[in-house]
Structures are given as structure tokens and as C-alpha cells.
Amino acid sequence: MKLITVFTPTYNREKELSKLYESLLRQTFSDFEWLIVDDGSTDDTSLLIKQCIDDGKISIKYHKTNNGGKHRAINKGLDLAEGELFFIVDSDDYLPDNSLEIIEDQYKSIKGDDSFIGVVGYRASPKGNIIGNKQFPTFITDSNLIERREKFGVIADMAKVLITEKFREFHFPDIDGEKFVAESIVWNRMAMKYKFRYFNEAIYITEYLEGGLSYNSIRNRRKNAKYATLLYKELANNSKSPLKLKIKSIINYWRFAFCKNESIFKLLKEVGVFPLSLIFLPFGFGLYLRDSFSNDINIKKLNNER
């Protein structure tokens, strides 16, 4: 068994994967495998990965499946992973040379503590700038996704490394006919049971590309409204959510609920949290109308859910 599974879900990113592969070759820590789940690519991704495997420089596993969305690819990756830790690295991103060494060092401090589900570092831009608005006040902070946003105000884009067996308790929900769900749906569920060890150091390099899932966030939620409303319904009902977050979640629930073409009474019953859900319905409907005319999003303001 390897210590770390670097997991990459990919779809038609042949031209980007080489950058990630080269960064894995430069790692100062070698006890890892690279697991790729190809979500039905139609380009030459398979040929590129075959070349990487033939190089024989690192341990690589490749699995191709029918296109079903990133969340289903992650579920498959969890089934196939052999590493003690599971590190999702998107196909258009890459790692600093000492990323896995930092992860191994941080993991040692929580290994065996059942209250933790993993360690979390920062994402940075290719120029090395931390992505997000602020960092934690101390280098090490033990918290969960909801608390770190609401208590510490840290909405920076984070890179999570999870204990594989514990992550398997939180497979992504599978809704027929929909292919996108925000990853935060499982991070929020984890907050009910586990905490992360956050550390103020970058372990991941990212650059948002036009056409990617993050770039099209609002549009994807509208097209996959069952997933979007499930996300916000759960957050509105999460016992860890303070009142302000509950209200925000209810508004976002209604923002996407109207895309489902269901009756108001059915939607009210679904979301619960009455009477707040009724009071803030008009606010969500206003956002729904705005999105109907323009659902593009400023990428620099995205990702306080990651």
C-alpha cells in the first residue's frame, strides 16, 4: 500500500495532463500512486497516460469510464484507491515539488486520531499567491469546512487530503440525469462528524480555465438543480450552520429550486426550516430571475465552498 493516492479525474484534458505528470516526477516524496479516472474523454488522453505508464518512473493506474461527471469519477477513484490518503488533483492543475512531503509531515501529527478526517493546505496561483481572502491566524488550525468559513472567515481555495477509509463513508450522491454537484456537499457532511487539520502552506497550484467546472459554476447548478438544492437544503438543516449561513443557504436553495419546475408546496416541504424558508423565498426568486438573464460568474469571487 502507498501512503498517498494522488487522484485525478479528467475529461478531455490531454494537453494539460503533462504539466501535472511532470510535477509528480519532481516530488521529493515517492511513496505515492497516481490514479486517473478518465470520465469518457474523446481526445488522446489514454495514449498520453499509456506513454507515462510505459516510462515506468512512478506508479500509475488508469481507468476509463462513461461520462458521468466529476463526482462519479471521484466515487470510482475511492473504490480503486490503494493509498492511505486520497488527494484530489484536477487534470489542469499541478503540485509544488515538495507538496507530498509536506502532506506526509502534517499527516503524522493526526494519524491515529479518530476525530480527524484529513489535512488541508492552500491552493496557490502559478505565481505563488495564495488563492482566497485570508489565512488562519495560526499556522495550524483544527476545524471543519463550516466553522472555518463562518468563525475564521477563511474562504480561500483549499487542497484537501483525506484519509481514504473515512472518505469512503461519504460517497457523492448519485442522481440520475445530472452530472454536476459541488464538492462541498460531502465536506459539509463531514463537518457533522470530523475535523480537518488546516495548515498555512500551499501544496497545490491551480489556474482556472474558461470552460472548466468552476468557471461555469452557476450555469452548472441551474442545469443540475436537484444536486444544487440538495446541497443547500442540507446546509440549511445542518446543526453546525449558524443562523446567517442557514439564511444564505435557504436563499440559494430557492435560487435553484425554481429550475426544477415543481410546486411551491413541494419545495417548501423539501427544504423545511419553516418559517425561514418562506420568508426568504422572494430573495431566492430574485436571484433565479437574475441568473435567467446572465449566469456567468466572476471567477475571482468563486469557491468559498471548496
What residue spans define the domains of the chain? 4-205, 217-301
**Stretch among 155-164, 201-210, 262-271 having the lowest mean pLDDT:** 201-210
> Sorting pLDDT into bands at 50, 70 and 90, what band is 280?
very high
Range of lowest pLDDT (71-75, 78-82, 105-109, 123-127):
123-127
* Nearest Cα residue to 23 out of 98, 74, 121, 82: 98
Query: Cell match 487534470: residue?
Result: 91
Express each pLDDT in 109-133 by its tens digit. Answer: 999 999 999 999 999 999 988 887 6
**In sequence order, what are the residues at sequence separation of 6 or more whose Cβ sits closer than 8 angstroms to the Cβ of residue 127?**
none
Residue 303 has what pLDDT?
Answer: 35
Tell whether the model's pLDDT for residue 32 goes beyond 60.
Answer: yes
**Burial grade of 200 (CB within 10 A; 0-12, 13-18, 19 or more):** middle
How do 158-163 and 4-10 pair as beta strands? unpaired
Please give the pLDDT value at position 35.
Answer: 98
**pTM more than 0.85:** yes
pLDDT in tens, 183-207: 999 999 999 999 999 999 999 999 7
- Check residue 75 and give left, alpha or beta (phi > 0: left; psi -120 to 50: alpha): alpha
**Does domain 4-205 bear CATH number 3.90.380.10?**
no
Read off the pLDDT band of 209 (50, 70, 90).
low
